Amino acid sequence: MSAPLLFDHAFRAHSLRRLEPDTVLLPMVAEELAIRLNTVMREFPLAIDLGTQGPGLAEAIRAVHSVGQVVQAADAGGDIISGKHALPYEPGSLDLVVSGLALQWADDLPGLLLQIRRALKPDGLFLAALAGGDTLTELRQSFAEAEADVVGGMSPRVVPFATVQDLGALLQRAGFALPVVDAEKLTVRYADVFGLFRDLRALGATNSLLSRSRTPLRRDVLARLAEIYQERYSDPDGRLRVTVEIVWLSGWAPHESQQKPLRPGSATHRLADALNAKEIPSGVKPGS
């Protein structure tokens, strides 16, 4: 049974045609992923940059001494991330898969992660960054309240993003070994909400949900949105705060050489001895 479609990938592809150079987020993500990769003590002869917009991440990865060939798998038509087609890689054929701020657009992220893990050679590495659950939380809440105030209801205006906990569970479900998930929250500031909208359009990050309202946003809703945002999320100088959460994922295709967790009950030393503490038998209260 295929996963339900969440995004209008034709609309998103149209949005990406007017993509402008990102001078903040993608370069930062590319630099951080390259730094993380530099700490890994092994060689990666063949790497795939999966779905990242622009050449920045592929260029940063090519500069890492342990990486050989880097192939950029662009996703202008949504074919890769949408899940319309399986990844075009043989099982166990890739040493490294990286992705920057693209996987949040996947209709079937669990299935895509499973395909990535299968495409990796044993002990191959997956390293990615994507937008996390707190991204644009101020805009999401302001939209919801503005539409409730003006029209008595609301429609999905801001794309939902997965949480750190969900993403960690998905890595394990896909069969990655030694999965690691961590997050970083950034605050970007704007003079007004219209500046935020302009940047979202420039990044190709406008609302592409299939369930979005096709009715143009009413002026009175937009005015109420701007009012609520200014009241709730402005700094003393009047500029608006926008939260961007970047979630970093890493995981390995299983290999016999990797460290394994100890089996329950296999410890050879007592925790009380290691802590130089008195062990209290179960059911006995301290001090009794």
Q: Measure Cα distances from 251 to 6, 26, 46, 177 in Å.
A: 25, 21, 17, 6
pLDDT at 120: 98
- The model carries a pTM of 0.79
Cβ atoms of residues 56 and 26 within 8 Å: yes
Which residue is it, tokens 């402008």? 20
Question: Averaged over 24-44, what is the pLDDT?
Answer: 93
Tell me the per-residue pLDDT of 94-126, one tens digit each, with 9 for 90 and over. Answer: 999 999 988 988 888 999 999 999 999 999 999
pLDDT at 2: 58
pLDDT at 96: 98
Whether residue 160 is predicted with pLDDT greater than 90 in this model: the reply is no
Cβ atoms of residues 212 and 157 within 8 Å: yes
Share of the chain above pLDDT 70, in %: 71
Instruction: Give 218's pLDDT tier (boundaries 50, 70, 90).
Output: confident
Share the mean pLDDT of the chain. Answer: 82
Tell me the per-residue pLDDT of 122-140, one tens digit each, with 9 for 90 and over. Answer: 999 999 999 998 999 999 8
Whether residue 276 is predicted with pLDDT greater than 50 in this model: the reply is yes
Tell me the per-residue pLDDT of 59-100, one tens digit each, with 9 for 90 and over. Answer: 999 999 999 999 998 765 556 776 667 888 999 999 999 999
Closest by Cα among 106, 11, 100 to 47 = 100
